[in-house]
Structure 1
Amino acid sequence: MTTEYVPRLFERDAEIRMIGEGLLACALPREAWTHEAHLGACLWLLAERSDIDIDVEIGPVIRRFNASVGGVNDDHNGYHDSITRAYVAGVRLFLAQTVETGLAARANALLLSPMGRRDWPLRFYSRELLFSVPARLGFVEPDLAPLP
């Protein structure tokens, strides 16, 4: 029997801002850098930090954070460029479509939406391509469907 993944939802806007600020300051505990935190931070960056060019800075921000908590960014671990960029596209799509206005409400709706699913990038990429070294190290165009 397989059980469907149920995301941990956010209780307050401040929780998401703390994750985003902790990511930027490399002050977030490693164990707090969950799937939900990744998406919450991405949503916060896009919705509230227009001073940050996410398309240019997301890779360096996450790589720097990973290194700060003892992680390694290499061919098999750490930052994954194509997955990150697929989620950035998904969060942008979600923000363009949502009617939610509060940060936590938007983040929770995102986590419960198709764009928030852990397997969402596999709508665009074959597993083989998505989990390849080139796709981890740099953005690779999807092979199944274009990103939104």
Structure 2
Amino acid sequence: MASFGFVTQKEIDYLVSGFLAKTLPSADWTHQAHLITGLWHVAGIGYEKALAEMRAHIPVYNEAGGGMNTDSGGYHDTITVFWVWLLNEYWIRYSEGGRSFEDICNTFLQSKYADRNNALIFYSRERLFSKEARLGYAAPDIQPLDFTKI
């Protein structure tokens, strides 16, 4: 299970605005920051637009911070698709009841759903970390994506 610290709305705003402005220090672009930013997108604009935005912004953000997007490093399309899918599925199930985004986000970050190894429930390491999966979406090779399997 993931074990991230509690984040405040101010910290969420810092991560999201820094990511969008391409000014977030690369040291702050952690797995937790990816998840927060992805959930913020899903909550605000829905799955399809969130996926398009994350696909467009992550590579540009990487390059703005001095990183490169190559066949073996930087932006990874299948991992991005996986996480936006999972965040959307979580949002659909747990965002009702008038809870704040901060509360939903923190509940997610403390849940099993935030575990960085979740993609390996559906993908073999060989497939997930292949050049093809990095450069474009690759379908799971262990089992189809199913939120109830996490």
TM-score range, shorter chain: 0.7 to 0.9
Per the normalisation by structure 1, the TM-score is 0.88
Structure 1 unmatched runs, 5+: none
SS at match of 1:18: helix
Q: How far apart in 2 are the matches of 1:46 and 1:15? A: 18
CA contact (8 A) 1:35 1:118 kept: yes
Q: Does 1:107 align with 2:105?
A: yes
1:23 matched to which residue of 2? 19
1:9 matched to which residue of 2? 6
Does the C-alpha gap of structure 1 residues 92 and 35 become closer, same or farther in structure 2, counting only changes over 3 Å?
A: same
Q: How far apart in 2 are the matches of 1:45 and 1:56? A: 10
Structure 2 unmatched runs, 5+: none
Q: What is the aligned counterpart of 1:63 among 53, 59, 63?
A: 59
Per the normalisation by structure 2, the TM-score is 0.87
Q: Letter of the aligned partner of 1:74 in structure 2?
A: T
1:49-89 deviation line (CA, Å, top 9, x unaligned): 46x91222211200000000001110111111111111111
CA contact (8 A) 2:59 2:75 kept: yes
The structure with higher relative contact order (CA 8 Å, sep 6+) is 2
Q: How far apart in 2 are the matches of 1:35 and 1:71? A: 16
Q: What is the aligned counterpart of 1:144 among 133, 142, 145?
A: 142
In terms of fraction of residues, the more helix-rich structure is 2
1:118 matched to which residue of 2? 116
Q: Does 1:97 align with 2:93?
A: yes
Offset at residue 5 of structure 1 (A): 5.7
Does the C-alpha gap of structure 1 residues 5 and 95 become closer, same or farther in structure 2, counting only changes over 3 Å?
A: closer
CA contact (8 A) 1:8 1:36 kept: no
SS at match of 1:53: helix
Q: What percent identity do the matched residue pairs reach?
A: 36
Q: How far apart in 2 are the matches of 1:13 and 1:134? A: 37
Offset at residue 129 of structure 1 (A): 0.3
Q: How far apart in 2 are the matches of 1:135 and 1:9? A: 32
Q: Point out the more displaced range, 123-132 or 17-26.
A: 17-26
Task: Report the count of equivalent residues.
Answer: 143
